[in-house]
Amino acid sequence: MIKALVFGATGHLGSEMVAALKSKNFFTTAVVRSRPDNSFPENDVDDFRISPLSSSDDFKGICAGYDLVISALGKSVSPFDRSKRSFRQVDLEINKKILEDALQNKVKKFVYVSALDAEKYPDLEYFAVHQEMANLVALSGIDYTIVKPPALFSAFIDLMKMAAKGQLVNMGKGEMKTNPISERDLARIVVDSLAEKNYVLAAGGPEVLTRKRINEIIQENINPAKKIRTVPMGLVRSMLPLIKIFDRNSFDKIAFFTEVMMHDTIAPIAGSETLQQYVNRKKHLP
Ligand SMILES: NC(=O)c1ccc[n+]([C@@H]2O[C@H](COP(=O)([O-])OP(=O)(O)OC[C@H]3O[C@@H](n4cnc5c(N)ncnc54)[C@H](OP(=O)(O)O)[C@@H]3O)[C@@H](O)[C@H]2O)c1
């Protein structure tokens, strides 16, 4: 039985990775900071490893005995996440320590979740650290899969909450297009392609949608009685220098959001679940 160790296992993508591995009969250990709540699919996990993943000692030997390490660990992009650590401290520094231990312990395969087009935005911290980490993995000599999704549908869960309260806004005209993917589809695609050596997997969902249409689908399926307002993009961007002075983490997130709103971000179509199906699957969950 192949032994898999999953970091970020409590996250939207990580928990789906765990489920996808289980469905393919991997022996799966989830690394968690604390025992997860009831929403976590405990039946999909063969073992838990509880670790704060903060001091260097926490990483020593953590990958020993595993064939496969998957990291979907990263700082949340949600504006409602108030954790203090930066993208660099989480997405790069923690994942670097995981990679080092995987190399030390001769893990056969390392899967890292980066982001589509990360290499195109070296000035945006979110993309820069994902790209730096992906480069470290690719140059390390370990067999890898680097996963490059556009947005995951889970990135819209905040928008679903805002839509319920009539607080959803379009930033500018919302004309740029993307094909976000269901994290469930992505996890299945990753696990199905593990045999590929040194593989960069760019994978998007089945529909290419404008940002405006994404908001409309969410609003129509959550609370059609409410309207979506529009905020001029110029207004949001004009506030960025001030936000940068007072709150670097918020700046990094808003700078990321405003930048992706101004470009098409389209990956090869790989997923099958539509945004509407996802919203209706998730909308009754707490
Ligand atoms: N969401 C998107 O649209 C999107 C698009 C492209 C790429 N990605 C990338 O895909 C990866 C997974 O995304 P996701 O949406 O599944 O993220 P998520 O739901 O926010 O989950 C993040 C995971 O990382 C863990 N984590 C966060 N900070 C940590 C810390 N300081 N120490 C230890 N663990 C920490 C969380 O653990 P706790 O539960 O303990 O907090 C959680 O398990 C991330 O690298 C993300 O940047 C996401």
| Residue range 146-164, pLDDT digits in tens | 999 999 999 999 999 999 9
User: Between residues 5 and 254, which one has the greater pLDDT?
Assistant: 5
Domains observed in the chain: 3-153+182-204+267-272 (3.40.50.720)
Q: Is the pLDDT of residue 252 over 90?
A: no
Q: Is the pLDDT of residue 261 over 90?
A: no
pTM of the model as a whole: 0.95
Give the range among 119-123, 197-201, 258-262 with minimum mean pLDDT: 258-262
For residue 238, report the distance from its CA to the centre of ligand 1, in Å. Answer: 28
Mutation test residue for ligand 1: of 5, 7, 10, the one with most atoms within 8 Å of CB: 10
**pLDDT per residue over 227-251, tens digit each?**
999 988 888 888 888 888 888 888 8
Cβ of residue 75 lying under 6 Å from some atom of ligand 1: yes
Write down the mean pLDDT value for the chain: 94
Q: Is the pLDDT of residue 266 over 90?
A: yes
Tell me whether residue 150 is exposed, middle or buried, using C-beta atoms within 10 angstroms of its C-beta: 0 to 12, 13 to 18, 19 or more.
buried
Residue nearest to atom 22 of ligand 1 (CA): 11
Cβ of residue 31 lying under 6 Å from some atom of ligand 1: no
Residue nearest to atom 31 of ligand 1 (CA): 90
User: What band does 27 get if pLDDT is binned at 50, 70 and 90?
Assistant: very high
